[in-house]
Amino acid sequence: MVGDNSTRFDPRWRDALGFALVPDSDLAIAQNPRIAAVNDLTFFECLEQLQEAYVASVAATSGCLYNPLMCDVYGFDALIVRKQPPQVPELSLYVQLKCTTLMKPDTSREFFSFKLKKRESFERLAVRRTWPKAVLLVMATSPHQATWTFSGHDSLSILHACYWVSLEGLPVLESSQPTVRVPTRNRFDAPALESILQTLDQGGDLRDGLA
């Protein structure tokens, strides 16, 4: 177990979400008794890697290609593409990835709240796009890194789950760290991805039915 209950909690870690490294992040982890990292020096990078593996697996199961965007100049982490016959345009979807150990969604509730560390993340997701569309993918996992995956002879499981939400067309909040509401029914799996792509292919709105 990394950390010592007698060690003061480093507040710089408190707002660390997903892929954003905080100053002296390895020190922050060592001073946080709720984190059990396998390696303090790569904990946040491994959070990123875990979610990428989850999303890439879902895309593969749906017959899609997961294409990481190496230069984060668009505010998105990957482009998911479903290849079509040569005479048909491909279907594609931008995804912004966020992975956190700070909460576990209560699935008995309709929504859970998630704070974006940067206002720009919200701004890019709220833009009305012609194509490709974009969604936010929020993954919640355990602060105990060694439990992130477990396997048997017939499966490999990833802890816990990933949820999607479209923010397109929403008014941009004034807060520097806006909070978004993510529907717990929007679990991101292969059927969900197929439904998203079908909705987009038919010209539908991913926010239909959302408050």
Q: Where is average pLDDT lowest: 74-83, 181-190, 201-210?
A: 201-210
Of 127, 144, 153, 139, the residue nearest 182 (C-alpha): 139
Task: Specify the pLDDT at position 31.
Answer: 57
* Residue 3: pLDDT over 50: no
Average pLDDT over residues 90-100: 95
Task: Specify the pLDDT at position 75.
Answer: 84
Task: Specify the pLDDT at position 58.
Answer: 97
Q: Please give the domain boundaries of the chain with CATH numbers for all domains.
A: 11-201 (3.40.1350.10)
**pTM for this one?**
0.82
More confident residue, 208 or 65: 65
Burial class (CB in 10 A: 0-12, 13-18, 19+), 11: exposed
pLDDT-derived band at 7, boundaries 50, 70, 90: very low
Determine the Cα–Cα distance for residues 6 and 78; give it in Å rounded to an integer. Answer: 40
Average pLDDT over residues 74-88: 90
Each residue's pLDDT tens digit, 129-186: 888 999 999 999 999 999 999 999 999 999 889 999 999 999 987 888 999 999 999 9
Q: Where is average pLDDT lowest: 67-71, 95-99, 133-137, 173-177?
A: 173-177
Determine the Cα–Cα distance for residues 126 and 129; give it in Å rounded to an integer. Answer: 9
* Residue 19: pLDDT over 60: no
